[in-house]
A = this chain, B = another copy of it.
Amino acid sequence: MSPCRFCEIINEPKKANEEVVFENEHFIVLLDKYRQTSIGGICLIVPKFELDEYEASEIINLISFIGKKMQEAYSARGIRVWTAINKEAGQSIFHCHIHLVPCSRFMDRLTAMIPGIYDILRRISKLNKSALNSERLFEYAEKIRIQINTN
């Protein structure tokens, strides 16, 4: 079994410079490497390890903080926030993560809500298997990092 992609990045965040948007003691915020909406990248908020109740509750402020920075970075009023618990709900990477999806039009909400359909279209159209190229990823991440660092 290959190691969890999130754990790999948590252990060596510098190797994923084009994806990592923010990091603190308990969480890392990444861009989804495989999906985007019409206005920007999708952020994933990932706890670094099993958190206690008090530590876990910090995620609310982090969702609010990153959501506001995404709104500024992508001129996105709408943000869809979601997570899936267990495969019956659509979880595919079994390391807790929360999706923050910048939304402007209805298709963005579909991308936000049915990642599987987005993936099928991507495969049919034979887009690069590693999806978003690293320049695009870096550009999306940098827009958010600039908002985080300048305010």
A positions within 8 Å CB-CB of B:
53, 56-61, 67, 76-91, 101, 103-105, 108-110, 112-114
A-B contact pairs, 6 of them (CB 8 A): A78-B84, A78-B85, A88-B103, A88-B105, A88-B108, A113-B113
Q: How far is the CA of A90 from the CA of B101 in the complex (A)?
A: 12
- Chain B residues with Cβ below 8 Å from A81 are 82-85
Q: Are B82 and A86 in contact, with the CB atoms below 8 A?
A: no
Q: Which residue of B lies closest to A110 (CB)?
A: B114
Tell me if B59 and A53 are in contact (CB < 8 A).
Answer: no
Residues on B with C-beta less than 8 A from A78 are 84-91
Separation of A92 and B86 alpha carbons in the complex (Å):
27
> What 5 pairs across the A-B complex have the smallest Cβ distances?
A78-B88, A78-B89, A113-B113, A82-B82, A57-B57
Q: Knowing A57-B60, A61-B57, A113-B114 are in contact, say whether A67-B79 is a contact too (CB < 8 A).
A: no
